[in-house]
Amino acid sequence: MISWVIVIVALLVSGLWAVMFLKQLKSGLGQTALEDHFAWGLYVQGFFFFSALAGGILIFMAVATLFQLQSIRPLVETGSAVSLGCLAAAALLLGSDLGKPFRGIKILTGKNFASPLTWDFYMLTLCGILGLVFFLGWIPQTGPLAVLWAVLCLLAALGYVMIHTLFFLSRVGAGFRSQPFLGLDTLAQSLLGGVALMNLIALVSGIHFPNVGRLLLVLASVTLIPLVGGHIASLSIKSRVMEQKKIIALDSFILAALAIVVMFAPESRVIPALLSVLILVAVFLEKSHLMKQYQIKPTLPLPYSRYEDVPQYSPSTSEWILAFGGVGVCVFFSTLIMNLKFFL
Amino acid sequence: MRYGMVIDLQKCVGCNSCTVACRAEQGTPAGVHFHKVMKYEAGKYPNAKMRFLPMPCMHCQDPPCLKVCPTGATYKRDDGPILIDHEKCIGCRACMVACPYDSRQFLWDIRNYYAGHPATPYEQIKQKTFDKGTVVKCNFCVQRLKRGRLPACVETCPAGARKFGDLDDPESEPSRLIVLYRGAPFREELGTEPSVFYIKG
């Protein structure tokens, strides 16, 4: 019953999303609140968010396959559909953000391998292919092919996650506001978000996810440390832009709550599920912070930028709908392909 | 051969003629400036002074914008200028995020100068060269260089603060000025090797 309600809501959201997407394609990015000093907004934040989740799920699937964890095989199979849904939402959001989305294919012919976006495009495609072949059941549960798939998947998903750190390399390389733990932070957020989403899928699909509380606890710890490291770095170089107190507070709360659940209610499924929702919020906030961190201040140093306005970005309604409608697209797409597979 | 520019900040009076000449030459839509003049204060009252920093694209020899462009739309000519192939630009804006000089702008919309009125005949002609949804920037007026003329900002500067020429030729005027007055690029420490040098005021 719950799953049908989710599907219907997802269908409605996807419908609204499709209308806004077409409107966006017709009128261009002029209708957004983006401007030259804040060129990447909610769409790119959403792209980073969904691709991080997809990367996290694919890493989880690869590890489960490598270690032959048969008990969670149904969860991994469902996860493959959701990873494809996340990738679809990420790709569509990236498409929404391009000034000329129909020229996107030129990334293939551009062959500029110094560009993070080129690598992102290739890795996104590779992750999609690997997720699809698993979803179609072409990968056996054991044997050399399973190992080969798992290794390829692990490399592609890890590479994909790490490329998202490279997006800001040009600025970091130029001595801009660098966050020394950005790579680890990106990876940890991806894993935590991916497992949190898997947990929600398990709850909705009625699939058992053993030791999910403990796994989330480990990943929440791994996530918190680079965030704290980045914050200490911001204090040492007196860069208030890099401060992320609110996200650290939220992640600390999640960590403490998970620790209490593992200690006193290890069999509970509802509390880890609620915390999983909170984790997804925290991951999105971190992606949002990352975008702002690199754009909120004028590019030129003082005194040259004294009379420049600090960019204020307030996303338009269409941006909110397209970015958050991505959740509906992800759920609808995953459910659709799962049902298609069932019928086939 | 490497085209470059020297801007003498002692001579610059901040009149923005260069900005206006650039807009007239390129026919940029309203709100789009390939060239800007940053103003800032130096010193403190009663000895404070208003100073100016004219900023075209720096046409770096090691440009971050070129490295991040996924389609190869941004390219470097053999003689130095960094240009954009608008047919290849997908409007991802990675170059804008990468540029440490704020030299690039995105065409969110193509607007007329007289809001609420149709485009003037001049705008109608010039706007055809702009493609909404792509990134634009200063091109060192390559269309003028082809005809043997100097960039519009250089030709128009009433104070003669700008000199343009071949930086590889030690006898060219900009090369001599750089040596004579110790000209330096803006934010040299970034290592992007700009082709625009400044003589400090």
- Rounding to the nearest 10 degrees, give the CA dihedral for residues A48, A50, A51, A55: 130
Residue B58 sits at the chain A interface (C-beta within 8 Å) = no
| The predicted structure's pLDDT at residue A170 | 56
Residue A171 has pLDDT above 60, yes or no: no
Chain B residues inside the 8 Å CB shell of A118: 70
- Lowest mean per-residue pLDDT among A77-91, A158-172, A173-187, A256-270: A173-187
Task: Quote the CA–CA distance of B168 and B186 in Å, as a whole number.
Answer: 19
pLDDT digits 0-9 by tens, A126-157 = 999 999 999 998 999 889 999 999 999 999 98
Task: Report the number of distinct structural domains present in chain B.
Answer: 1
Nearest chain B residue to A36 by CA: give it: B105
H or E element, residue B162:
strand B162-166
8-state DSSP, A309: P
CATH code for the domain of B26 = 3.30.70.20
Q: Where are the alpha helices (DSSP H) in B86-151?
A: 94-98, 121-126, 142-146
Residue B49 sits at the chain A interface (C-beta within 8 Å) = no
- pLDDT tier at B155 (50, 70, 90 boundaries)? very high
| The predicted structure's pLDDT at residue A174 | 42
Q: Which of B49, B53, B62, B48 is nearest to B195 (CA)?
A: B62
Residue B123 has pLDDT above 70, yes or no: yes
A131 in Cβ contact with A78 (< 8 Å): no
- pLDDT tier at B83 (50, 70, 90 boundaries)? very high
Higher pLDDT, A1 or A143: A143
Mutation target among B108, B131, B190 for the A interface, most CBs of A within 10 A: B108
pLDDT digits 0-9 by tens, A289-306 = 888 777 766 677 777 877
Residue with tokens 């053993």: A210
| The predicted structure's pLDDT at residue B76 | 96
A107 in Cβ contact with B71 (< 8 Å): yes
Q: If contacts are CB pairs under 8 Å, which of residues 109-148 in chain A contact chain B? A: 109-112, 114-118, 121
What are the backbone dihedrals phi and psi of residue A181, each rounded to the nearest 5 degrees, phi first?
-105, 15
Q: Which of A130, A136, A132 is nearest to A150 (CA)?
A: A130
- pLDDT tier at A85 (50, 70, 90 boundaries)? very high
Residue B135 has pLDDT above 70, yes or no: yes
Residue A173 has pLDDT above 50, yes or no: no
Characterize the bridge pairing of strands B105-106 and B3-8: unpaired
Question: What is the average pLDDT score of chain A?
Answer: 86
* DSSP assignment of A116-149: HHHHHHHHHHHHHHHHHHHHTT-S-SSSHHHHHH
Domain span at B69: 3-199
Task: Report the number of distinct structural domains present in chain A.
Answer: 1
Higher pLDDT, B68 or A4: B68
Chain A residues inside the 8 Å CB shell of B107: 99
Chain A residues inside the 8 Å CB shell of B99: 299
Does residue A122 fall inside a structural domain? Answer: yes
- pLDDT tier at A175 (50, 70, 90 boundaries)? very low
Nearest chain A residue to B104 by CA: give it: A36
Q: Do A174 and B42 touch (CB under 8 A)?
A: no
Residue with tokens 């890890």: A158
Residue A178 has pLDDT above 60, yes or no: no
Residue A316 sits at the chain B interface (C-beta within 8 Å) = no
CATH code for the domain of A230 = 1.20.1630.10
Does residue A302 fall inside a structural domain? Answer: no
| The predicted structure's pLDDT at residue A3 | 66
Residue A242 has pLDDT above 60, yes or no: no
Residue B27 has pLDDT above 60, yes or no: yes
Higher pLDDT, A201 or A305: A201
Does residue A106 fall inside a structural domain? Answer: yes
Residue A240 sits at the chain B interface (C-beta within 8 Å) = no
Residue A68 has pLDDT above 70, yes or no: yes
Q: How far, in whole angstroms, is CA B31 from its chain's centroid?
A: 15
Residue A238 has pLDDT above 70, yes or no: no
- Rounding to the nearest 10 degrees, give the CA dihedral for residues A132, A135, A141, A145: -20
Taking the CA of residue B142 and the nearest CA in chain A, the distance in Å comes to 23
- pLDDT tier at A239 (50, 70, 90 boundaries)? low
Q: How far is CA B56 from CA A154, A183, A210, A221, B162, in A?
A: 45, 34, 60, 48, 11
Residue A233 has pLDDT above 70, yes or no: yes
Q: How far is CA A298 from CA A287, A293, A308, A313, in A?
A: 20, 11, 7, 13
Domain span at A336: 39-296+328-343
Instruction: Please name every residue paired with B38 in a beta bridge, in sequence order, or none if there are none.
Output: B53
| The predicted structure's pLDDT at residue A262 | 94
Residue A26 sits at the chain B interface (C-beta within 8 Å) = no
Q: Do A117 and B68 touch (CB under 8 A)?
A: yes
- pLDDT tier at A26 (50, 70, 90 boundaries)? confident
Q: What is the mean pLDDT of residues B77-86?
A: 94
Q: What is the mean pLDDT of residues A79-90?
A: 93
pLDDT digits 0-9 by tens, A303-321 = 787 777 777 788 998 899 9
Task: Centre a 10 Å sphere on the Cβ of residue A167 and count the other Cβ atoms it contains.
Answer: 26
A147 in Cβ contact with A66 (< 8 Å): yes
* Residue % of chain A over a pLDDT of 90: 40
Does residue A12 fall inside a structural domain? Answer: no
B96 closest CB neighbour out of A29, A39, A100? A39
Does residue A67 fall inside a structural domain? Answer: yes
- Lowest mean per-residue pLDDT among A279-283, B16-20, B167-171, B187-191: B187-191
Q: Do A115 and B101 touch (CB under 8 A)?
A: no
Question: What is the average pLDDT score of chain B?
Answer: 93
Q: Do A112 and B67 touch (CB under 8 A)?
A: yes
| The predicted structure's pLDDT at residue B108 | 93
A156 in Cβ contact with A130 (< 8 Å): yes
| The predicted structure's pLDDT at residue A206 | 85
Chain A residues inside the 8 Å CB shell of B49: none
A82 in Cβ contact with A201 (< 8 Å): yes
